[in-house]
Amino acid sequence: MILVTGGAGFIGANFVLDWLADCDEPVINLDKLTYAGNLHNLASVEGVARHLFVQGDIGDRALVAGLLAKHRPRAVINFAAESHVDRSIHGPEDFIQTNVVGTFHFLEEIRAYWNAMEGMEKAEFRFLHVSTDEVYGSLGPHDDAFTETTAYAPNSPYSASKAASDHLVRAYHHTYGLPVLTTNCSNNYGPYQFPEKLIPLVMMNAVAGKPLPIYGDGLNVRDWLYVGDHCSAIRAVLSAGQAGEVYNIGGRNEKTNIDVVKTICTMLDALHPASPVTPHEKLITYVKDRAGHDRRYAIDARKIERELGWRPQETFETGIRKTVAWYLANPDWVANVATGEYRHWVEKQYGSQA
């Protein structure tokens, strides 16, 4: 049995669904169900005996201790985090509380659980911490991509809080011997992504004939990783990664934000010509840039490719086509997440231009 935290969010839910589809090992899924946690993401496994959902906080030490003692997981995969830069700019405290304080309390309970183990159970236990490339800071247009030894230089409250959690995980390995694994991934996209992020936000607005807000000049560069590829990479690290090591996970797909948006618009012109406004590129609207907006991220994933034999299976073109098709095929899911709270956030972030 494994314990997954944050398993009702975007990446966590995709991981849980993939895991249950690919193997018979049960999953305990612990999620606080904040705004981005959505049980509709897990509707297809409702009633499946191998999936136990528990609503709760990784910082709730009594709850975590009870789950560990009762279910005896052989591994823990930690997706739980506040994860959106824009929200961290407006309200950094939640990010410190969850990503730093919550991770600390969680690690303390994991350490106590592991220390009480013996023999092979203890030797084979793993704690896998899922993090982000944003901890490395920003790159210039010709800089080499981030490697696992790139110095941390976080530039937002979000990335600073994730950097702090990464450091805690590293310290618990080097100080206490806890068998940890850390992954730092590039920008994920795919099914079930909460529509505050670029790709689902553009999808929703374009189909509704609303403006497509693009920060600054739209030339910020990200490496785009299809979420299914990310999930397969995490499974590879959990299976064969070396305790104490860090593995960067990237999609080999560097794209500017404006290129991503124009690609989606072109696909929608063909797949959804009934939108109120076509061609969809007419909806592109440039808005004031985000405070401290990092210019470029790029991942060097040669370590995981070389040591674990993992490579992404999707190009950006194949992955974005799957993603656009999924959102078009699931209007009920989209309508469910576009709640009053979400609309309030969009208006606060982009004003009348969204």
Residue 333 inside a domain? The answer is no
* pLDDT tens per residue across span 229-282: 999 999 999 999 999 999 999 999 999 999 999 999 999 999 999 999 999 999
> Residue 163 falls within a domain, yes or no?
yes
Q: What is the pLDDT of residue 195?
A: 82
- pLDDT tens-digit profile of 255-268? 999 999 999 999 99
pTM for the full predicted model: 0.93
Q: What is the pLDDT of residues 268-322, one digit of tens each?
A: 999 999 999 999 999 999 999 988 899 999 999 999 999 999 999 999 999 999 9
Reading the block at residue 258, the tokens are: 């404006």
**Which entry of 31, 82, 136, 158 is annotated as an active-site residue?**
158
- In a domain, residue 31? The reply is yes
The yes-or-no answer on residue 269 being catalytic is: no
Q: How buried is residue 332: exposed, middle or buried, by Cβ count under 10 Å (0-12/13-18/19+)?
A: exposed
Place of tokens 């009702």: 8
Residue 254: active-site member: no
Beta strand ranges found along 230-319 (DSSP E): 246-249, 254-256, 284-287
* Structural domain contains residue 258: no
**Is 79 part of a structural domain of the chain?**
yes
Are residues 227 and 188 in contact, defined by beta-carbon separation less than 8 angstroms? Answer: yes
Range of the domain at 243: 2-193+224-253+297-314
Give the model confidence (pLDDT) of 49-76 as tens digits.
999 999 999 999 999 999 999 999 999 9
Specify the number of domains making up the chain.
1
Residue-wise pLDDT tens digits, 73-108:
999 999 998 866 667 787 899 899 999 999 999 999
Catalytic residue, from 57, 82, 86, 134: name it: 134
**Is-catalytic flag, 286?**
no
Q: Which phi and psi angles does 207 have, rounded to 5°?
A: -65, -30
User: Has residue 219 been placed in a domain?
Assistant: no
**C-beta atoms surrounding 69 within 10 Å:** 12
Residue 72 lies in a domain: yes
Q: Is 74 within 8 Å of 1 (Cβ atoms)?
A: yes
Indicate which residue of 31, 57, 109, 133 is catalytic: 133
We report the CATH number of the domain holding residue 142 as 3.40.50.720
CA distances from residue 342 to 85, 339, 349 in whole angstroms, order as listed: 15, 5, 11
pLDDT of residue 346: 46
Within a domain: 113: yes
pLDDT at 105: 98
pLDDT per position as a tens digit, 198-211 = 999 999 999 999 99
For strand 212-215 and strand 221-226, is the pairing parallel, antiparallel, or unpaired? unpaired
